[in-house]
């Protein structure tokens, strides 16, 4: 930090003084990020007659369809982020370790596409592959395994878990790769030269260093899964009750509630759940930063 101060004293002119260079960023985020959040929160606290009230939150807190939607949403995000973080970490390791140059660049862009494909195409792709008439389904059937023999359908909870894993795993790869890449070779060399085996290195050095990043990434995946909208919307058409889907139907006016601002309260409820998850992420980030700086 001392070095930094010395620098700023040398160059007192130029765009490097005070808060000014950061102003565009602050204005942008205040207007397009903070203001909408404040606005939706305020409106969620108003009733049909524009009076202040907490009534919009009541349907979420007592058992019923809205409460149930939160339970299902949270369960879905938990399951998919566990699957995604474990498998994604494995992929990230293999990629960092063995993929080189152009190949790595291509894998990066494929991960980016898949990770951000929590969208409509994904849903249709899975229908084509795993739907009743899907290619994978019919192939497996001809091999003697009817995946539709049990309760499975692509439109069920299990189906949504499969589809979500499709973007959770690559997202983990993207998020976790830098952490693995940040493991310095010197650490492994140092530990080996002190007589540690590869296993000991991982147990005593590698995993403890990566663990905060891993937990952080897990929470990130959780929040992502919890907020995902497009895939579930296109895939389930409401067969799996998820909070974002219900908000969507309220906004589109497909479902009319006698409480005009119920959707706002659901939106704020989602913010609350996601905030709890992200508090875990931020906590883990701090731990990671401590490692990096020390």
Partner 1 sequence: MKKFTLKWPLISIASSFAFLTFVVPLYGAALYSFRGEGGKGHSWVNYQWLIHADGFYLNLFTSLKLAVLAGVLNLLLMVPTMVYLNLKGQKFKSLIDFLCILPLIIPVVSLAIGAQVAMPEFLQNSEYELVFFFVIIALPYTYRALDTSLQTVALKTLVEASRSLGATWTRTIIRVIVPAIRGGITGALFLTFALSIGEYTITSLLHWETFPTWTVVAAQQNILGAIAISVFSFVGAIALLSIIALFSKKGARQVEVDE
Residues in region 117-176 near partner 1 by CB under 8 A? 117, 119-122, 124-130, 133-136, 165-166, 169-170, 175
- Please, what is the minimum distance in Å from the beta carbon of residue 150 to partner 1? 20
Helices and strands per DSSP (H, E), number in the chain: 15, 0
- Please, what is the minimum distance in Å from the beta carbon of residue 103 to partner 1? 10
- Binding residue (CB under 8 A) for partner 1 from 54, 61, 94, 255: 94
CA dihedral of 279, 281, 285, 288, whole degrees rounded to 10: 130
Contact 241, 68 (CB under 8 A): yes
| Token pair 């609350």 in the structure block, residue | 272
User: Can residue 70 be called a binding residue for partner 1 (CB under 8 A)?
Assistant: no
CB nearer to partner 1: give 211 or 283.
Answer: 283
| Token pair 């409820």 in the structure block, residue | 269
User: Can residue 264 be called a binding residue for partner 1 (CB under 8 A)?
Assistant: yes
User: Can residue 22 be called a binding residue for partner 1 (CB under 8 A)?
Assistant: yes
Look at residues 241, 238, 246 and name the one whose alpha carbon lies nearest to residue 266. 246
User: Can residue 48 be called a binding residue for partner 1 (CB under 8 A)?
Assistant: no
Stretch that binds partner 1, among 29-37, 49-57, 143-151, 204-212 (CB under 8 A): 29-37
CB nearer to partner 1: give 55 or 87.
Answer: 87
- Binding residue (CB under 8 A) for partner 1 from 116, 189, 203, 287: 116
Residue 45 CA, chain-centre distance (Å), reads 28
Site string for partner 1, 205-224 (x = CB under 8 A): ---------------x--xx
The β-bridge partners of 46 are 52
Q: How far apart are CA 235 and CA 166, in angstroms?
A: 14
The β-bridge partners of 52 are 46
Q: How far apart are CA 178 and CA 175, in angstroms?
A: 7
Q: Which residues from 267-286 bind partner 1, rule CB under 8 A?
A: 267-268, 270-271, 274-275, 277-278, 281-282
Stretch that binds partner 1, among 13-21, 48-56, 64-72, 205-213 (CB under 8 A): 13-21
Stretch that binds partner 1, among 51-59, 64-72, 86-94, 143-151 (CB under 8 A): 86-94
Report in angstroms the alpha-carbon separations of 138 from 160, 256, 290: 20, 40, 52
Look at residues 130, 162, 125 and name the one whose alpha carbon lies nearest to residue 147. 130
User: Can residue 248 be called a binding residue for partner 1 (CB under 8 A)?
Assistant: yes
């Amino acid at each position: 930090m001392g070095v930094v101060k010395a620098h700023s004293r040398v160059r007192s002119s130029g765009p490097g003084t005070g808060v000014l260079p950061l102003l565009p960023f602050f204005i942008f985020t205040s207007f397009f990020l903070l203001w909408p959040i404040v606005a939706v929160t305020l409106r969620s606290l108003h009733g049909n007659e524009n009076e202040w009230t907490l009534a919009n939150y009541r349907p979420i807190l007592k058992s019923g369809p809205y409460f149930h939607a939160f339970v299902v949403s949270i369960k879905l995000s938990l399951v998919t982020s566990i699957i995604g973080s474990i498998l994604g970490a494995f992929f990230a390791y293999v990629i960092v370790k063995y993929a080189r140059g152009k190949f790595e660049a291509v894998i990066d862009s494929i991960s980016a596409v898949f990770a951000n494909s929590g969208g409509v195409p994904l849903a249709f792709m899975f229908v084509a592959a795993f739907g009743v008439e899907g290619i994978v389904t019919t192939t497996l059937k001809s091999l003697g395994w009817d995946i539709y023999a049990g309760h499975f359908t692509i439109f069920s909870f299990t189906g949504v878990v499969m589809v979500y894993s499709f973007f959770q795993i690559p997202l983990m790869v993207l998020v976790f790769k830098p952490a693995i890449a940040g493991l310095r070779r010197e650490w492994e060399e140092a530990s080996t030269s002190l007589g540690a085996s590869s296993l000991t290195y991982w147990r005593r050095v590698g995993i403890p260093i990566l663990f905060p990043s891993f937990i952080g990434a897990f929470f990130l995946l959780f929040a992502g899964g919890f907020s995902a909208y497009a895939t579930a919307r296109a895939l389930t058409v409401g067969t799996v009750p998820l909070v974002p889907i219900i908000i969507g139907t309220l906004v589109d006016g497909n479902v009319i509630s006698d409480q005009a601002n119920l959707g706002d309260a659901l939106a704020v409820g989602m913010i609350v759940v996601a905030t709890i998850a992200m508090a875990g992420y931020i906590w883990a980030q701090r731990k990671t930063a401590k490692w990096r700086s020390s």
